[in-house]
Amino acid sequence: MSDNPVRDAIAEAISSNDVILFMKGTPEHPACGFSARTVAMLEALQTPFAAVDILPDPRIRQELSALSSWPTIPQLFHDGELIGGCDIVSEMYESGELAEALGAQPRADAPQDAPAGADPAPAPLGIENRLS
């Protein structure tokens, strides 16, 4: 353990989940189009995945990027390795490499091209009322 609990928690999440996506928002309510597309691709491949919303705390994104040497969000990891962001995941989805790498069984109606994903919701403001 280091003296950086956020980085430790991220490293632990990456190593303990076969497939994990760091994204803006949640799979149900993505807050960015790139995150939404990546979720839609994983869902088309019927791949179970863990998801971490990086928005609630800026340290998550900061430590994640420091750990992965990757500046942008989303970031998809498999077996502890960074597969890539939305561009790489889209390219691999369309070539069939993503399904192969993840050992996935695509849905019968999985589109050939990378799916567009749901319209992203605006990022939550996260205002918590502690007055009452």
Partner 1 sequence: MPSARDVKSRIEAAIPGADADVQTADEVHFSATVRATAFDGLSRVAQHRLVMDVFDDELGGSIHALALKTEVP
Q: Beta-carbon neighbour count of residue 90 at 10 Å?
A: 19
Only segment of 1-9, 49-57, 82-90, 106-114 that touches partner 1 (CB under 8 A): 82-90
Q: Which stretch binds partner 1 (CB under 8 A): 21-29, 67-75, 103-111, 119-127?
A: 67-75
CB 46 within 8 A of CB 103: no
- The amino acid sitting at 62 is Q
- CA 100 – CA 82 distance, rounded (Å): 16
Closest by alpha carbon to 89, among 28, 31, 19? 19
Per rule CB under 8 A, is residue 88 in the interface with partner 1?
yes
Residue 91 binds to partner 1 (criterion: CB under 8 A) = yes
Q: Which residue number, 71 or 122, has a Cβ lying nearer to partner 1?
A: 71
CA dihedral 27, 28, 32, 35 (to 10 degrees): 20
| One of 25, 27, 74, 84 touching partner 1 (CB under 8 A) | 84
Q: Is 30 in the site for partner 1 (CB under 8 A)?
A: no
Q: Is 58 in the site for partner 1 (CB under 8 A)?
A: no
Q: Which stretch binds partner 1 (CB under 8 A): 37-45, 86-94, 102-110, 115-123?
A: 86-94
Nearest partner of 55 among 27, 22, 33, 86, judged by Cα: 22
The encoded tokens of residue 113 equal 């091209």
The residue from 7, 9, 50, 70 that contacts partner 1 (CB under 8 A) is 70
**Rule CB under 8 A: which residues touch partner 1?**
69-72, 82-85, 87-88, 91-92
